Structure 1
Amino acid sequence: MTSMADKVFHPRSEGIPSEGVMDQYADGKAARVWKKFVGDSNQRTQNYKDFLIGLLRANGCVKILDAACGTGIDSMMLVDEGFQVVSVDASDKMLKHALKARWEKRKNPKYDEWVIEEANWETLHRDVQSFLPDPSFDAVICLGNSFAHLLDEFEDQRVQRRALENFAKCLKPGGLLFIDHRNYDAIIDSGATPGHSIYYNCKYPVDIKTSVLVVGGRPELITLDYCIGGTDDGDDTNRSEFRLCYYPHKLDKFTKMLDEAFG
């Protein structure tokens, strides 16, 4: 089946992992540049870290499933804070960065129990069960605008609903699901995407060109062309560019899908 992104254009970063889900990081380019965009992990995280760690601890969470770990930056923050972390991602190219980060921390005993595996949101509960006998967590986190990478190729959001149902299956009763993504309501209204936030802390100039695809009067796809400058003084020798595609979740509709997934 042709994905919605393929109907419109071919992303610069494209590929299909073994599970069959579009992996926009598969060529390795976006995976490499993403670390540059995220920026200094220590500098960027303080406000965000205080919020996330505070939220998890306030809810008594210990065992965490990072369902979109990417390069492992959020997982490492949680491991450092003493949480039991299982990290999964559909992109093996992103996971290579997480595995490398774990290897570099191998002398730190906190990292001995950090589990990193490949998994697909559509079969997440089954995938996690294949390497973990009890795939039941105090919290499931899906951060960094990751969930919106899952496009609506059937045009009825069935795949996205299935993913949310899998998140629910991985949670203990009373567990916490934490998903964040960009403010697509504002992006659709303004046609622009902010280049900086407390989550991303790139030290280079960032420009994000935004395109909104409207089908039948409804926004169906947003493409963001990231352009990251080489230096602050305008030297573009190390300029980086990549394109990612997102489904523009609007708050009201997304809230209803969450309500349905959790009954």
Structure 2
Amino acid sequence: MYRGAKLAGIKLLDLTDLVSVSRSVSRGGSHPLFRQIFSQLLVAQTMDTVFHTRSLGAAAEGVKDQYADGIAAKVWEVFIGDKKQRKQNYRDFLVGLLRDKGCKRVLDVACGTGVDSTMLLEEGFEVVSVDASDKMLKYALKTRWEKRKEKAFDNWIIEEANWLTLPNDISHLIGEGFDAVICLGNSFAHMLDSFGDQREQKQALSNFERCVKPGGLLLIDHRNYDYVIRTGQTPTHCIYYNSKHTQSINTSVLYTNGVPALVTLEYRISLNGFAKGEGKDEQQVSQFRLSYHPHVLKVFSELLDEAFHGKAKHTIYGDFKPLDEIVDPGFYIHVLEKIE
């Protein structure tokens, strides 16, 4: 049974519509009602029916590129704010941890526009940066070109790669493994559970583990989806960026058979000072929407331990603090130290 809400100007779709579109999309095709259904899903619950949403772009097999149209990637640059102004507690946490563990060579498996990679390069680390979205990589490549005269950026390697085929995609770069592999900024949740059993997430985490050398680290995070599911809200503050342009984040949770299967966040960003050709007094706002798999802490922790075959020291932080020092953090950060 499909139970939804009628949007202004849009008819309420019945189960026949849903099945027709679902079959079309699953075959890799399109359907004239797809955009309409996707919009309705933001305010609906699916009961006793499995419906898999798909983004319009595909970076590679198995990984859907939600930045394929280039719009979200462009607005994301505004969302994160000044790349030079990373929050100091984040910089101190990441750089301090990597240095304490003697890490030098780092693989950023979700580099996006290159924000974290840039920070690490400026701190003296050797960085290999990969992402599945060519639209996001465009900004990283631009940064490398702009900083080409700076010594720290001489050997910055940027590659397009898929998490599901990562060891093959960068086989020429792995060698004995990296001192650290990082996947931060809620990036891993971009991989949706297309099959309903998290097989792709398990494969990706296993591939991350293969890239970590013995004694090395994996740092991976996710939003506090336990809180999002419980309250239906997403905090607008971010522990990573100093962005001052986020006006609101509208949160929708899609349930399949009573289980949270998809979280969609609609970001409302002020573009004042960025858009050209508009009046200075006119409020300039852009919106973009991203979908995430809602990783709950207990299950995701088990997936990580499984990926490392139980042979890793696993520490979890909440907003860079020990868990016993914080209540309802915005993000959980997992640090796994691979046993030699």
TM range (shorter): over 0.9
Structure with bigger RCO (C-alpha 8 Å, 6+ apart): 1
C-alpha RMSD over aligned residues = 2.2
- Tell me the equivalent position of 1:240: 286
State whether structure 2 residue 38 is matched by structure 1 residue 9: yes
Rounded Cα–Cα distance in structure 1 between residues aligned with 2:125 and 2:143? 17
Give ranges in structure 1 of 5+ residues lacking alignment: none
Alpha-carbon offset, residue 202 of structure 1: 1.7
Structure (1 or 2) with the greater helix fraction:
1
Q: Is the 8 A contact 2:62 2:200 kept in 1?
A: no
- Tell me the equivalent position of 2:152: 110
SS at match of 2:253: strand
- Tell me the equivalent position of 1:95: 137
Alpha-carbon offset, residue 39 of structure 1: 0.8
Q: Is the 8 A contact 1:89 1:120 kept in 2?
A: yes
- Tell me the equivalent position of 1:255: 301
State whether structure 2 residue 273 is matched by structure 1 residue 227: no
State whether structure 2 residue 120 is matched by structure 1 residue 74: no
Rounded Cα–Cα distance in structure 2 between residues aligned with 1:160 and 1:235? 46
Deviations 1:19-38 (A, max 9, x none): 45210001110111111111
Deviations 1:96-136 (A, max 9, x none): 0000000000000110110000000001111111x426261
Structure 1 residues 107, 190: closer, same or farther in 2, change over 3 A? same
Alpha-carbon offset, residue 144 of structure 1: 0.7
Structure 1 residues 149, 205: closer, same or farther in 2, change over 3 A? closer
State whether structure 2 residue 237 is matched by structure 1 residue 196: yes
1:150-189 pair list within 5 angstroms: 150-189=191-230
Number of residue pairs the alignment of both structures matches: 259
- Tell me the equivalent position of 2:74: 32
Give the greater-gyration-radius structure (CA): 2
Give ranges in structure 2 of 5+ residues lacking alignment: 1-24, 28-33, 40-52, 274-279, 310-340
Rounded Cα–Cα distance in structure 2 between residues aligned with 1:2 and 1:213? 18
Rounded Cα–Cα distance in structure 1 between residues aligned with 2:219 and 2:137? 21
Alpha-carbon offset, residue 92 of structure 1: 0.3
Q: Is the 8 A contact 1:37 1:201 kept in 2?
A: no
Q: For 2:258, which of 213, 217, 224 is the aligned residue?
A: 217
Rounded Cα–Cα distance in structure 2 between residues aligned with 1:241 and 1:135? 43
Moved more, 78-87 or 10-19: 10-19
Percent identity between matched residues is 60
Q: Is the 8 A contact 2:79 2:246 kept in 1?
A: no
Q: Is the 8 A contact 2:246 2:267 kept in 1?
A: no
Rounded Cα–Cα distance in structure 2 between residues aligned with 1:41 and 1:215? 38
Alpha-carbon offset, residue 76 of structure 1: 0.4
Structure 1 residues 207, 103: closer, same or farther in 2, change over 3 A? same
